Structure 1
């Protein structure tokens, strides 16, 4: 028996009992109406209908009639066809967003979810586990960033790639996201450069203990702060605290974001016909991230920002690989299987046996520094940039 019909039967039995006691003067009109949870006027009206028509007069006239808010059959069929042919595998929430945005669907999310369950198109989610109290967010944007990567088959027909995401703890807003062949020092510097260049320096950044973030002498043990990696050296130079996570649960906020991205982003790439990493990065920057942040980001608990502007700081010279080398007898430096020839310098006749520092930039270029002085800059193949410029001028 449907619940509404059952309630109708209970209401009739209760009304009949109270009406008979009212007529026996056990209750006043006000008391009888109060016991039924209705007004006095309604009680009088029900009494008249009961006397004229019997129990049929108390039937709810809405029973058996289609609701004015019911989704028409043709729209129901359209929704089912859309899910089967175009949006198969989407969650109910993700699918409903596209219905509203792209197909002018005017009914609520609850209907969409219930409809998908009733047609066997979507399984009900498992019951959640025991409650856990999550860590409170930082009150201001820029107080803490999370950076992590997820290996996944993001693009159809392409091998697994790493999606590198940098997000804010206070708001869960994604500040940078792109695909990389493999997570590492280069991808970390790229993400940090995008965020620091646009927003400024945060107070801290929270990461796992990957080898590009920290040296960890013992597997699963504490990190060695006395031996900073390239990333650690750059963050220390900029005065950004680097916090190591010691469990997956500690990175719960970023893990939940990746769960959402793995479900939604793959489908969005497929819908948009994205087939290459370069096209995916543009789609992420211009389309997906703004929409994702508008939907999922939180309002910080306090007004303002903890990001610190860094005018005049050349991030390119800091967020890069820096390693010391000794200059050879041929006045060249060996680095990454390249021979970097030091050009003539007014500082000294040559730099043989001198210790210099080689910087390898995100664009693939190189530079050699002796102290704070740049001795030469080179392209990704090791050709001196100044020589190339002179050759262009001569031509």
Structure 2
């Protein structure tokens, strides 16, 4: 009978054969096979009784008890062909466990599908070498933030997915869909992180104008102006992060913030298929599903930080955070303690209860607006609700006739204009 053996099994048979013939001692055979001398003696006795092939493992040729049956392998192949087409092997394995309660390894899924002639749609490209840096040792020390444009809903809408990921652990801290990449989208991420007490100490971002005024950078301010908190050249997001005490670090290449770039690569492959499988077709439904998806994603891909201690910034009260993240502009009060904003006039209340507001003309106020607070005014440590003023009706001037009718039979002629300018004509000016 022909026996097919691996290299290690053939080596084991050869050493035991030499030991039986006396070429090697029991001690030498034990050292080569990394077993005890007593075990060598047992194998020699078994070989004398059943032949030299008896030194091989006893379960050789017997299917393992936990091996998949032919029907189970066919079921996995059928599910992939009918429901999970174009899923990569890892994603297919996760869906089988989550939706079908079929728990198998990625290598098992790969082996079954390859035997069926099904290759993974995600080709593996060779890695490019880039200068690397060590990840932060503590969770919450720094988070990378970016947005990715993709056909997330598989309907040609090409939404912008704003996201933030922890640098130390790879945990997704927040995700939010918007039609365009905007400051509002990034503010929504800050709201999510603050509500979950996951506000980082630093944000690692790119050099988009949302994060930095590239025409008049902050560096053009003097040291005294920076220390005084002057924010003339800051964008709205820069200003809000400055007030929150969060440092913005700027990356000058995609490779510099590689963790979030790899996150987009993973999400672009997985998230659209998961949204389609859940029947999600609108932006509102997608945003409602994202918290559940974040929990699943972090269980699957997050790693432990080197230092177990958390380094998140303290959370901010929601009312205060709404004011900080609102769009803020400066205005000056006029004599009537009113101001103009976006083509409308507003006035400020002079009394709050029985207390008089310390307002005067030419005061510089800050007007804060957002969908959460409407329009509010910040001045002298107070938050006031402005009142919109109604526009005054403009007087309508009608053309005056040459003659004014006093009654049915009496007309009064219009007085003549004796001004010398009234008597001139174009010929006069030409001369």
Aligned position for 1:299: 304
- Post-superposition offset of 1:334: 4.4
**Structure 1 residue 215 corresponds to structure 2 residue 208:** no
Aligned position for 1:168: 166
Q: 1:72 aligns with which of 64, 69, 72?
A: 69
Q: 1:141 aligns with which of 139, 142, 145?
A: 139
Aligned position for 1:102: 99
Provide Cα deviations, 1:347-376, integer angstroms capped at 9, x if missing partner.
699987764332111437222344444443
Equivalent pair of 2:322/2:373 in contact (CA under 8 Å): no
Equivalent pair of 1:8/1:60 in contact (CA under 8 Å): no
Label 1:369 to 1:13 Cα distance change in 2 as closer, same or farther (>3 A).
closer
Secondary structure of 2:208's partner? coil
1:52-91 paired onto structure 2 within 5 Å: 65-91=62-88
- Post-superposition offset of 1:139: 2.4
- Post-superposition offset of 1:154: 0.8
- Post-superposition offset of 1:301: 2.2
CA–CA separation in structure 1 for the residues paired with 2:42 and 2:166 = 59
1:218-367 paired onto structure 2 within 5 Å: 224=219, 226=221, 227-285=233-291, 287-310=292-315, 314-326=320-332, 333-336=339-342, 338-342=343-347, 344-346=349-351, 355-363=364-372, 365-367=374-376
Larger gyration radius, structure 1 or structure 2: 2
* TM-score (normalizing by structure 1): 0.79
**Structure 1 residue 47 corresponds to structure 2 residue 72:** no
1:178-217 paired onto structure 2 within 5 Å: 178-199=176-197, 201-217=199-215
Provide Cα deviations, 1:110-155, integer angstroms capped at 9, x if missing partner.
2112222332323374364366664222222322122111111111
Provide Cα deviations, 1:140-199, integer angstroms capped at 9, x if missing partner.
232212211111111132501111112222222222211011112111222112223431
Aligned position for 2:227: none
- Post-superposition offset of 1:269: 0.8
Secondary structure of 2:325's partner? coil
Equivalent pair of 1:150/1:163 in contact (CA under 8 Å): yes
Provide Cα deviations, 1:23-58, integer angstroms capped at 9, x if missing partner.
4x54445556766777122123213333xxxx7877
CA–CA separation in structure 1 for the residues paired with 2:372 and 2:3 = 67
- Structure 2 runs not aligned, ≥5 long: 222-232, 391-431
Residue correspondences, number: 368
Secondary structure of 1:259's partner? helix
- Post-superposition offset of 1:235: 1.3
Q: 1:129 aligns with which of 127, 130, 152?
A: 127
Q: 1:156 aligns with which of 146, 154, 159?
A: 154
Provide Cα deviations, 1:270-325, integer angstroms capped at 9, x if missing partner.
1111111111111111x111111122222222233222335657111111111123
Secondary structure of 1:89's partner? coil
- Structure 1 runs not aligned, ≥5 long: 385-395
Label 1:263 to 1:212 Cα distance change in 2 as closer, same or farther (>3 A).
same
Secondary structure of 2:385's partner? strand
- Post-superposition offset of 1:328: 7.3
Provide Cα deviations, 1:208-255, integer angstroms capped at 9, x if missing partner.
11101101239xxx8756421111111112222111111111111111
- Post-superposition offset of 1:383: 9.1
Equivalent pair of 1:212/1:229 in contact (CA under 8 Å): yes
* TM-score (normalizing by structure 2): 0.73
Secondary structure of 2:280's partner? coil
1:7-22 paired onto structure 2 within 5 Å: 7=7, 10=10, 14=14, 18=18, 22=20
CA–CA separation in structure 1 for the residues paired with 2:241 and 2:116 = 53
Q: CA RMSD in A?
A: 3.7
Secondary structure of 1:199's partner? coil
- Post-superposition offset of 1:63: 5.8
Label 1:310 to 1:268 Cα distance change in 2 as closer, same or farther (>3 A).
closer
Label 1:130 to 1:350 Cα distance change in 2 as closer, same or farther (>3 A).
closer
Secondary structure of 1:318's partner? helix
